[in-house]
Amino acid sequence: MMNDSTLVAATISRPVVQPKPRASWGTWLINLLTLILTLLWAVPIMWAIIASFRPPQDALGRGDVWFSDRGVSLESYQTVNRLAPFFPTIEDGQLTRSYYGNTLQYVLMTLTVQLVTIPLAAFAFVQYEFPGKRLLFYLILSQLMIPTVILLVPNFATISRLGLYDTTLAIAIPYFGSAFGTFLMRQAFLEVPRELVESAEIDGARWHQLLRHIYLPPTRSTLVAFGMVSVSYHWNSLLWPLVVTSNQSRPLTMGLLRFTQLTDIGAQWSLIMAATMIIVAPLFIAFLIFQRQFIQSFINSGFK
């Protein structure tokens, strides 16, 4: 038989299993509302995907809005690529320009320059004191309050004088500097402990070493968040490329615009949805793959 001390020791060593807390009605209600909102968000996307696989000649009607009696077909995608050069082709041994190539060149060029100019500008406002610093920062912030449409005419005149009309560089130049990005990185740099900066300065660190090893590592998530916003914004831009391009340098959104104008015999929904899927697919797939990093970068950068 077990004595009292053995019973006490066994009782102490036995792990205590806590009962799982039951979900409250509030939690169930929030989950239900989240599910409903998810379905409402997903239904238009699912319809766009299904409609893009309908044959172009198969008009939508009552009772067959979702699926076609003629089955699934890739004809809409083939027609879209034939009517608009979304993808590059080889003609006379040379690779032709395409909407995808122009867009990638424009977006990557803009992002690359911004990842250099924005941290440098924010570093100057945080690290150095110079006459007119506050006024200059306010002037940069004032750009956020100026509508883009107001700047179309002066920017177009500048591009014309530089001889850059209908080039990828003409689309990218106005965005090489970003007031929003400068403000965002400045706020992030202000959160870096001043003791680390002063310690590095005592050790003889130069300005580029301070920026690279002290300021950028703890604010990398903020820079990633801005990069994602920048890529999404410029990937979907339409008005400025419409003004400064005419043919060979036009991006993806200009290709979609061509299909929205096919209304002589009614809206060609299968063609429009196929073109839309071609444009949004890269961003959509990238978000599905990197959604955790995407959300985490926004949380760490202080976005609400």
3-state class of 91 per DSSP? strand
**Confidence at residue 16, expressed as pLDDT on a 0 to 100 scale:** 52
Give the residue, 166 or 265, on which the prediction is more confident.
166
Confidence of residue 59 (pLDDT cuts 50, 70, 90): low
Asked whether 245 and 258 are in contact (CB, 8 A), the reply is no
Give the chain's mean pLDDT: 79
Distance separating alpha carbons of residues 189 and 212, to the nearest angstrom:
12
Tell whether the model's pLDDT for residue 265 goes beyond 70. no
Architecture of the 101-250 domain? Orthogonal Bundle (1.10)
Instruction: Give 3-state DSSP helix, strand, coil % of the chain, rounded to 5.
Output: 70, 0, 30
Distance separating alpha carbons of residues 139 and 173, to the nearest angstrom:
19
Tell whether the model's pLDDT for residue 258 goes beyond 60. yes
The reported pTM is 0.76
- Residue 72 is classified by DSSP as -
Confidence of residue 7 (pLDDT cuts 50, 70, 90): very low
- Closest listed residue to residue 35, CA positions, set 43, 44, 25: 43
pLDDT digits (tens, 9 = 90+) for 190-231: 888 888 888 888 888 888 888 888 888 888 888 888 888 888
How far CA 230 is from CA of 114, 167, 208, 224, in Å, comes to: 9, 20, 24, 10
**Confidence at residue 14, expressed as pLDDT on a 0 to 100 scale:** 52
200-221 burial string, b = 16+ CB within 10 Å, else e? Answer: beeeebeeeebbeebbbeebeb
Distance separating alpha carbons of residues 64 and 269, to the nearest angstrom:
13
**Which of 77-81, 150-154, 170-174 is predicted with the least confidence, judged by mean pLDDT?**
77-81
Asked whether 76 and 270 are in contact (CB, 8 A), the reply is yes
Distance separating alpha carbons of residues 190 and 258, to the nearest angstrom:
46
